[in-house]
A = this chain, B = another copy of it.
Amino acid sequence: MSVRAGVVITGTEVLTGRVRDRNGPWLSDRLHELGVELAHITICGDRPEDMQAQLRFMADQGVDLIITSGGLGPTADDLTLEVVAGFAERPLLLDEALEQRIADILEPLMKRWPDLDFEAVRASNRKQAMVPEGAAVLEPAGTAPGMVVLPREGSGPTVVVLPGPPRELHELWRAAVATEAFREAVVDAGHYEQSMLRLFGIPESEIAETLRLAEAEIDGFGRLEITTCLRRGEVEVVVRHEREAAAARTALEALIGERHERTLFSDDGSTVDEQVAELLAGQTIATAESCTAGLMVARLAERPGSSAYLLGGAVTYVDRAKVDLLGVDPELIERHGAVSEEAAEAMAAGAIERFGATVSIAITGVAGPGGGSEEKPVGTVCWCVQRSGGTPMTRSVRLPGDRAEVRDRSTTIGMHMLRRLLRGEELPV
């Protein structure tokens, strides 16, 4: 009875990795909310035969719904509607009213580029007004309309055709879901529940061991669909099941909570970023960064409303800036080096003082590829988190990975240290 879907991402720029696809993951979440199971995501370039093959693959796999992203632009390599119309055996017809609506959208936009020939632009957008016979039109959020295309004679999947730019895709998705054609395609969708546990500071293999134990101990374990994965240094355990298997899920969560008490930090789907944001209510925070060079403060600023507690940060990439902006004693740097727990502590104290913050975090390290030494190899990072007037909490670790990974992972460890500090907990040994 379950409804399965496939997502087809088009675009040579995505296939070749020049542009990162953000639509597949987003659509996956939306489908999941509707109780529709996403079975396959496929990515093809701008060759019609390849896209056609992927649509046919989805149909062969028996999906009820295909969602395509991209290929609706004005350039000649944008071929999605032609291919989908062929797949659904529906001729493409010019919708003149739609063409006019697109022209109305384009006119004011063209004012930003006054040199453009309006008629030429309009002609290049005319193909965006070609509609497969019988399809529901989704009004453009940019200049490209989307479509919900029904298969000929009710056989085969319904195809939702969406534009590639994420903001446009999001808006047109909402319109697509409201169409009768869409609702009919997903009428048999089941009801799944999903929960997520997050752990930090534990190898994935230890979770594997716990799951093996759970399999032996927990009734109905087989009805749980469990995925574990390592992500930015955290282990995520996702459990998905039909409503009736909720008891097994609860038992599994209890077992993990018991065996991994010290490392389990989230059982309600919350991220460490969200937890830290909540813990910062009533506090003010400033950062002092060297190797992360702004990634920590930028991460704290990702959340809307972060201005309630985030004062700012000093990115002191060179030693002199550590001295001038944060008041770090140059002799301390001389004695211990800029990558040291001592320097991290002095930077954290400087951030509290200079910004007048109640909480601070400092990060200094060797991100690589150069700059390492025998004593402090590439990947060595030191953190200090501190409350105004409190005892600093410091740590140093040698991280694996390349420059980007070391910098990114450093912010994750920073977040977890902030969480511990703000909860009044000690660091684990």
Contacts and interface: CB of A to CB of B under 8 A. Distances in A.
A16 B40 contact: no
Contact of A304 (B44, B302, B368): B368
Given A32-B16, A113-B206, A42 B42 contact: yes
Contacts of A404: 302
B297 A315 contact: yes
A252 interface: no
Interface in A321-343: 321, 324-325
A16 B28 contact: yes
Nearest to A51: B40
Choose among A165, A206, A292, A298 the residue with the greatest number of B CB atoms under 10 Å from its CB.
A298
Interface stretch (A69-77, A183-191, A387-395): A69-77
Interface in A284-298: 286-287, 289, 292-298
Given A77-B228, A209-B121, A298-B294, A41 B18 contact: no
Contacts of A16: 25, 28-29, 32, 38, 227, 238
Main secondary structure of the interface of A (DSSP, over half): mixed
Contact of A74 (B208, B226, B238): B208
A3 to B, nearest CB: 15
A56 to B, nearest CB: 9
Contacts of A38: 15-16, 45
Interface size range of chain A in the complex: 35 or more
B20 A20 contact: yes
A204 interface: yes
A1 to B, nearest CB: 17
B50 A44 contact: no
Contacts of A41: 15, 42-44
Interface string A22-36: 001110110010000
Interface of A: 11-13, 15-20, 24-26, 28-29, 32, 38-47, 50, 53-54, 57, 60-61, 73-77, 109, 112-113, 116-117, 120-121, 124-125, 165, 167, 202-209, 211-212, 215, 225-231, 236, 238, 286-287, 289, 292-298, 300-302, 304-307, 310-318, 320-321, 324-325, 354-356, 368-371, 400-405, 407
14 contacts: A11-B229, A13-B236, A15-B41, A17-B28, A17-B29, A42-B43, A74-B204, A120-B209, A124-B208, A167-B402, A298-B407, A304-B403, A311-B318, A311-B321
